[in-house]
Amino acid sequence: MKNTKFQNNVAMAIIKLIAAMVVLILVFLLGKILISGVPHISWKFLVTPSKAFTAGGGISVQIFNSFYLLILTLLISFPISLGAGIYLAKYAAKNKITSLIRMVIEILSSLPSVVVGLFVFLVCVVQMQIGFSILAGAIALTFFNLPLLTRNIEESIKAVPNLQLEGGLALGLSKWKTITKIILPEALPGIITGVILSAGRVFGEAAALIYTAGQSAPAVDFTNWNIFDETSPLNLMRPAETLAVHIWKINSEGIMPDANAISAGTSAVLIIAILIFNLSARYLGNYLYRKLTSAR
Amino acid sequence: MNFMEKIITTKDVHLYYGSKEALKGITLDFPDKGIHALIGPSGCGKSTYLRTLNRMNDMIENVKIEGEFKFKNQDIYDEKIDLVELRKKIGMVFQQPNPFPFSIYDNVTYGLRMAGIKDKRILDEKVETSLKQAAIWEEVKDNLNKNALALSGGQQQRICIARVLAVAPEVILLDEPTSALDPISTEKIEEMLLTLRDNYTCIMVTHNMQQASRISDTTSFFLSGNLVESNKTKKIFLNPDKEQTADYLSGKFG
């Protein structure tokens, strides 16, 4: 009896120690990045374009590129994942083909992002002659994002009790209508949370973008919204360095005098954006869940 | 009650889950109107049988169903049948209350709105009559915009019954509708079912033999995939023809 209690205490102590270590590492990392980076963040830093050789450059174009790339990636990957998720959760028969599909998705999700980047580089940038562009970057990020998002949507749909499907069918609704009108709304909070979390991952991705969206951020004219114009921020065919790639670039070959400061500031901006994504995912997920399931 | 007229007839029903035979040749008819109980121990096939009547087993994989199923002389398993229309005529209430995650109003009007009825006056009227029929109007009439999931289990189940009643079915299949509920909610639902028996045909699976004897007009006893006996409830409970039925009802097994 005494022995079991002792064992229990030891186990608890070890688990608490490990948990404390994880938290400490995280706090140290975040603290270091924020403390060294936040002092360099200023309004001017956020709204000036970067400079290649002289001090005083900002990250305005990189910030825009990161968000634009994220939106494009979600525009491509969300509809595909939604369809695949619905199919896998509710339509796919339990047979070899389905498990093969699942296996392929799993393999895709464990591919190193640099490999995905090189693949898209060869296929899209070189072979299809798209060139270093936002479009190529969005395609690479879609490959990267698709498996995780599909898995998330499938799990969110599966978490809705099958009773709801039966209830809809018994009421004379078709399976498709039951899924779109009853099951999807109920799965929505989980899906939204997954989308935002995957957005955080996509936002911080660098390796897959180096060879696709490119490592340069040509100045854009934020007053020109003609999507086909070379200098328009919306142009899909222009090279577009993102925040994460910018950090990598500056640290590996930055020759401006204030490279360290820019790198630290950019890291802080990136971390803050991802923190906002994560926290808002929690908040939005909870809010939607309450909205959908409790009294209005 | 006219027991001569049959609303649903089934003949020699076999159902296989893969190679396992779950129903071994059931021939059973249901008279128009009234409450008809299906009883028997767990796993005897009564719920499986019930779900063949509105084709809810169709979506289970590896199920093979044989036999003749007729609803008012129309073949239930006819390939050309409109499943939506069939399930409007043969509604279903499940063991676990399963209201949709919407307001009470939206739950009750769901089937109607899906059928294209948009007129607010008709919907309002349907909501009131259906909720009254389901004996829950008084409890929720001031909160029709409240989410149905915020109600108690017994209230949720009555919302589900109102949802079925709103699309004007002729037959209501009830799969152990009160087994997840407390005695007071159970009593309310039983009282409500008694008010429905004159206008609807209720076919109810139940584990609760007192419930079957209290409210049903006919009772059918299932045992390991076979129909042992089907008769007027009084006859089954007081003087069954088969020994197995008497043994089950007296608690010798099950």
Q: Please indicate if any CB of chain B lies within 8 Å of the CB of A291.
A: no
Neighbours of A91 (CB within 10 A): 11
A164, A171, A181, A184: best to mutate for the B interface, most B CBs within 10 A: A171
Q: Residue B4's pLDDT is what?
A: 62
Q: What is the pTM of this model?
A: 0.81
CA distance A121 to A139: 10
Is A185 an 8 Å CB contact of chain B?
A: yes
- Taking the C-alpha atoms of residue B106 and residue A171, their distance in angstroms, rounded to an integer, is 13
Residue B228 falls inside a structural domain: yes
Q: How is chain A split into domains, by residue range?
A: 1-40, 43-293
Choose from B114, B163, B203 for mutation: most chain A CBs within 10 A.
B114
Please give the C-alpha separations between residue B97 and each of A187, B68, B114, B162, B175, in angstroms, as whole numbers: 19, 31, 21, 12, 11
Residue B18: inside a domain: no
Q: How far is B55 from chain A (nearest CA, A)?
A: 9
Least CB–CB distance from A166: residue in B56, B83, B163: B56
Measure the CA–CA gap between B172 and B91, rounded to whole angstroms: 5
Q: Specify the CATH number for the domain of residue B150.
A: 3.40.50.300
Classify residue B9: in a domain, yes or no: no
Per the CB < 8 A criterion, the answer to whether B180 and B95 are in contact is yes
Q: What crossing angle do the helices spanning A184-204 and A259-293 adopt, rounded to 10°?
A: 180
Identify whether B15 is part of a domain.
no
Whole-angstrom CA distances from B2 to B27, B197, B199 are 20, 12, 12
Cα–chain-centroid distance for residue A272? Answer: 14
pLDDT on residue B117: 84
- Which residue ranges of chain B lie beneath pLDDT 70? 1-4, 254
The ipTM value here is 0.82
pLDDT of residue A296: 40
Q: Domain residues for B128?
A: 33-46+87-249
pLDDT at res. B116: 83
CATH code of A43-293, in short, is: 1.10.3720.10
Q: What pLDDT is stored for residue A293 in this prediction?
A: 61
DSSP for A145-160? HHHHHHHHHHHHHHTS
Q: Which residues of chain A have pLDDT under 50?
A: 295-296
Question: How many domains does one find in chain B?
Answer: 1
Decide if A169 and B94 are in contact by the 8 Å CB cutoff.
Answer: no
Nearest to B147 among A166, A170, A293 (CB): A293
